Amino acid sequence: KACKKVSELGSSANKWAICVSHIHKPCTILSFGVGFDYSFDIEANKRFACEIFLFDPTPSVVERMSTIDDIQMHFYPWGLAEKTSRVEIKNNWWNQREVATVQMYSFEDILENLKIPFAPIIKLDIEGYEFGVIESILDNRHGVRQILLELHYGGLTNDDFRQVNGERGGERWLEIFNLLDQRGFEIFWKLGGRYDTKSAVCKKDPSSKKCYHACLKDTNCKGALQEYGFIKTKTHTSQK
Query: Strand, helix or coil at 67?
Result: coil
User: How far apart, in whole angstroms, are the C-alpha atoms of residue 103 and residue 41?
Assistant: 22
CA atoms within 13 A on the CB side of 155: 18
pLDDT tens, 125-177? 987 778 889 999 998 889 999 999 988 765 444 443 344 444 555 677 778 88
Residue 202: name the closest of 217, 187, 191, 189 by CA: 217
Residue 189: name the closest of 19, 12, 37 by CA: 19
Q: Span 57-64, mean pLDDT?
A: 88
pLDDT at 163: 41
User: Residue 15, class by beta-carbon neighbours within 10 Å (0-12 exposed, 13-18 middle, 19+ buried)?
Assistant: middle
Higher pLDDT among residues 195 and 124, named by residue: 124
The DSSP secondary-structure symbol of 198 reads -
Is residue 18 pLDDT above 50, yes or no? yes
pLDDT at 2: 85
pLDDT at 103: 94
User: How far apart, in whole angstroms, are the C-alpha atoms of residue 186 and residue 222?
Assistant: 28
Instruction: Report CA-CA distances (Å) from 40 to 7, 30, 59, 110.
Output: 11, 12, 21, 21
pLDDT at 237: 47
User: How far apart, in whole angstroms, are the C-alpha atoms of residue 146 and residue 144?
Assistant: 6
User: How far apart, in whole angstroms, are the C-alpha atoms of residue 238 and residue 216?
Assistant: 32
pLDDT at 87: 86
Instruction: Report CA-CA distances (Å) from 11 to 42, 137, 221, 223, 233.
Output: 10, 26, 27, 23, 28
User: Residue 150, class by beta-carbon neighbours within 10 Å (0-12 exposed, 13-18 middle, 19+ buried)?
Assistant: buried
Q: Span 89-101, mean pLDDT?
A: 66
Is residue 212 pLDDT above 70, yes or no? no
Q: Span 65-92, mean pLDDT?
A: 84
